[in-house]
Structure 1
């Protein structure tokens, strides 16, 4: 054990800290600042430095409009730092030598936040419990967000820009892991990528990307919005809307690069809100389909069994959409009118397609039959299923043909969340994966009890996730998903395996893949 451990990476030495339980290196630069001429361009690997770089503080979060529901770095003096120079990562490992005497498996986390919010510095992602209980090396990272990371300006005629720069950030970070993680005691031949929400969307995009081949060996996707990735036409419309907010013509790329970052964040925030309100079910910012990284829609590639053949855990929460209803978020079409507009738009878009792209929407009556008896919550259930559950089912069925695939549904919720109708909402699974319940001795979620049960669920979930990362099956009682029994693990106070849990949903929605993209 060393209180200030120094590790030498390809770019230079970094000094972290060790508290006797975990060794931590924070704020390791993996790319040069993506500013100036590199704004809206692929990242460049970090320029080597001399001496020993201090790595005890998180790097700045990607620029974003502050959101009280996404606290970026509690306890930071003066509040969380945000900067366009944000491409940093963090490494956490147990202090003790590995019991096996071999390098530890590596888990690389991609944070969520609708592709526009969040950071690796969020308290829930610190990872001490995950690495010590699971005996893994953890890497968390920042990538560019919102208009700076997911805007396809080239589709709108802006020269000198590149597509999917945030995804290129993640690929560069994975190459950093491949080349450097052995120095931290990690095994570069045993890398599991995992993420939630937008981070899980990136996981599915990487599974469908030829550029990611060989960079990871297992994947976990928690509540991925895999159906919400778009081709050049929609990308161009979003980019034009962004340029209109700034009052800039598409040809003046230098003016765009000279803009203060705050102006870009504000224009991006406006577009982020407007797009799903005018086009329900559509995100403003998401990976773009049709370039060298994503030649085809990830949902299509994976549902057809053409993704990278690595083992996969994928699942959703029982009550995903209640969070969006509670926050009055425009990101999901919760109200009946918005759902009707979404379906009408899908019908209009698909009416003129042909060949293998032709999609026939399931009859309305057949879909609604799957929700009989849910008068008050039917819209919330439909929004949950079309945005999250059905894409996960379609993806699992296809990927199971090329690699072991494990499907789950997370149902656990403490009494207060059940009684208030929130239930197992979007993102409520995060504390259970990480073993962090807000860092508060009196988490309001447990005002009516349930902490002991929650702790037991967290121990079980972490054991399953890290057993999978070690290269095995994700714990007892979880069979692979297959066409015969469609085995699904329901995660609750007591996990249970259910044969074809979603039979009624599949009967209503059908087997044909639908997509917003």
Structure 2
């Protein structure tokens, strides 16, 4: 069976080589950037540029703001993805020289098309812009838009806050500054790829969605994009500087560095190995590095104590999936061994709201008397872990009158007979119109294709006009605190007011505390 590792490894290991007559027939495109010319490939009439450099090698700039690339004089082939950022458990080759982006465009014709820049998920520690599910070809064709994906520094190399340990003041957010550099590249160069620099949308899923809303709280980033969407990116608060410093100090010790100078001189493999350590604050999982409230690059939390007024002009889609935690609970749900005796203990391990697990079980049994223990585990863990951040984002935006549209994906994955529900990540393949890929896990039946058409078209319209409404989509009202109108993407696409309102009110007794802060 061909795996994602096989696909990506093949792409990175060797450039795409086509017979001369095929290359001549396809008329591979050449575009000019402010740094030099690049040649992409023509794929069934769509022009694709992979591995276009937007920043210089970061190995000499560890923990510091990246530099722009040096100009080149020779024509550079842009026919394969650049290397991913160093990370644990990587599925593809990595390097500190990782600042590359990828472009899918209908033409290098100065067509002034909307530009959709996708920020990949994987928290702030994993992933890349070369995931096959985020291939921008179908989205670009469908909407006559330019799609961009990118790599940036991750984990400790992108978010270790070393300012109080003798490192650069910006160190806790250089991964986000890489994205800013990429958006500056888009502003300065995308017209040569058929894009409109005055209509740039950023969107991302999970960690990518979290980065999108964090950029809305960064004054340096805000002028570089004009609309945004966060898909299951529940960032309300960034990491605080005290906890971020504690994590950086622990990671430095695990790597065997006595100071930041020593940290800069260590082999990157040693730094990555140390990133696998258990988080010193949460006592579980890998050490957590994320955007940091540094009172400098990021002067405030994304949604605390409110939504940033400076981003009120930016239209925003806030989305979540109905059964987010099915992604993490897959093994348990597939085994089907959750019962009334072990449900409370299992639920306790999954929620971040500080409520009594036995009370939560009793409350959910009263709300949904026909549901099984496994179904309640899925519903209650989602509502007390992954859903609250999305609600807070929409609520705080509504309070300042910022244009915000909320969606919920209810269409379940066919995996395991549907027992996992509409889990975390399921909306990626739909928005990118890549339901034909098995890795999308959506299936490719009529319901999935219909949801994909509706979701991708809504995102395209947001990029083009600043409003997702239009086409065959039911009228999608702006989110407000009175009606809480939410677009439901399911077999029947519809708007519901305050979906799962009883669950929301039940869990309103306790505040949401984002893990990793």
TM-score of the pair, normalised by structure 1: 0.83
Cα distance, 1:386 vs. partner? 3.7
Query: Are positions 1:465 and 2:470 aligned together?
Result: no
SS at 1:508 equivalent: helix
Say what the alpha-carbon RMSD is for the aligned residues.
3.0
Q: Which residue of 2 aligns with 1:63?
A: 86
Cα distance, 1:141 vs. partner? 0.5
Q: Which residue of 1 aligns with 2:54?
A: 30
SS at 1:210 equivalent: coil
Query: Are positions 1:285 and 2:289 aligned together?
Result: yes
Matched residues in 1 for 2:115 and 2:95: separation?
Answer: 28
Q: Which residue of 2 aligns with 1:431?
A: 429
TM-score of the pair, normalised by structure 2: 0.83
Q: Which residue of 1 aligns with 2:97?
A: 85
| Contact 2:159-2:175 at 8 Å conserved across structures | yes
The 1:130–1:86 alpha-carbon spacing in structure 2 relative to 1, beyond 3 Å, is same
Q: Which residue of 1 aligns with 2:491?
A: 493
Aligned residues: 471
The 1:327–1:146 alpha-carbon spacing in structure 2 relative to 1, beyond 3 Å, is farther
Matched residues in 2 for 1:465 and 1:343: separation?
Answer: 31
SS at 2:223 equivalent: coil
Matched residues in 1 for 2:427 and 2:144: separation?
Answer: 21
SS at 2:213 equivalent: helix
Matched residues in 2 for 1:283 and 1:35: separation?
Answer: 22
1:219-252 deviation per Cα after TM superposition (whole angstroms, max 9, x unaligned): 0100013136210111012112212212322xx2
Q: Which residue of 2 aligns with 1:474?
A: 469
Matched residues in 2 for 1:82 and 1:238: separation?
Answer: 23
Cα distance, 1:405 vs. partner? 0.7
Query: Are positions 1:51 and 2:74 aligned together?
Result: yes
Q: Within 5 Å, give how 1:437-452 maps onto structure 2.
A: 437=435, 439-440=437-438, 445=441, 451-452=445-446
Q: Which residue of 2 aligns with 1:348?
A: none
Matched residues in 1 for 2:346 and 2:238: separation?
Answer: 22
Cα distance, 1:270 vs. partner? 2.0
Deviates more, 1:12-21 or 1:210-219: 12-21
SS at 2:455 equivalent: helix
Matched residues in 2 for 1:104 and 1:220: separation?
Answer: 18
Query: Are positions 1:201 and 2:225 aligned together?
Result: no
Cα distance, 1:51 vs. partner? 2.2
Cα distance, 1:20 vs. partner? 4.1
Deviates more, 1:184-193 or 1:284-293: 284-293
1:2-45 deviation per Cα after TM superposition (whole angstroms, max 9, x unaligned): 62221111111111122342111111111111113x00111111
Q: Within 5 Å, give how 1:373-392 maps onto structure 2.
A: 373=368, 375-392=373-390
Q: Which residue of 2 aligns with 1:310?
A: 314
| Contact 2:364-2:376 at 8 Å conserved across structures | no
| Contact 1:208-1:302 at 8 Å conserved across structures | no
| Contact 2:102-2:148 at 8 Å conserved across structures | yes
Cα distance, 1:398 vs. partner? 1.8
Query: Are positions 1:262 and 2:273 aligned together?
Result: no
| Contact 1:103-1:182 at 8 Å conserved across structures | yes
| Contact 2:29-2:42 at 8 Å conserved across structures | yes
Query: Are positions 1:4 and 2:31 aligned together?
Result: no
In structure 2, runs of 5+ residues without a counterpart are 1-24, 333-343
Matched residues in 1 for 2:440 and 2:310: separation?
Answer: 44
Query: Are positions 1:223 and 2:232 aligned together?
Result: yes
Cα distance, 1:366 vs. partner? 8.3
Cα distance, 1:483 vs. partner? 2.3
Cα distance, 1:65 vs. partner? 2.3
1:82-124 deviation per Cα after TM superposition (whole angstroms, max 9, x unaligned): 1110000111111496xxx951000000000121111111111
| Contact 1:410-1:490 at 8 Å conserved across structures | yes
Cα distance, 1:445 vs. partner? 5.0
The 1:296–1:404 alpha-carbon spacing in structure 2 relative to 1, beyond 3 Å, is same
Q: Which residue of 2 aligns with 1:455?
A: 449
| Contact 1:149-1:164 at 8 Å conserved across structures | yes
Deviates more, 1:223-232 or 1:303-312: 303-312
SS at 1:107 equivalent: strand
Cα distance, 1:163 vs. partner? 2.4
Matched residues in 2 for 1:312 and 1:194: separation?
Answer: 9
1:349-372 deviation per Cα after TM superposition (whole angstroms, max 9, x unaligned): xxxxxxxxxxxx899958973663
Matched residues in 1 for 2:142 and 2:402: separation?
Answer: 27
Matched residues in 2 for 1:168 and 1:39: separation?
Answer: 13
Query: Are positions 1:409 and 2:408 aligned together?
Result: yes
The 1:262–1:515 alpha-carbon spacing in structure 2 relative to 1, beyond 3 Å, is same
Matched residues in 1 for 2:180 and 2:270: separation?
Answer: 27
SS at 1:189 equivalent: strand
| Contact 1:16-1:55 at 8 Å conserved across structures | yes
Matched residues in 1 for 2:419 and 2:345: separation?
Answer: 15
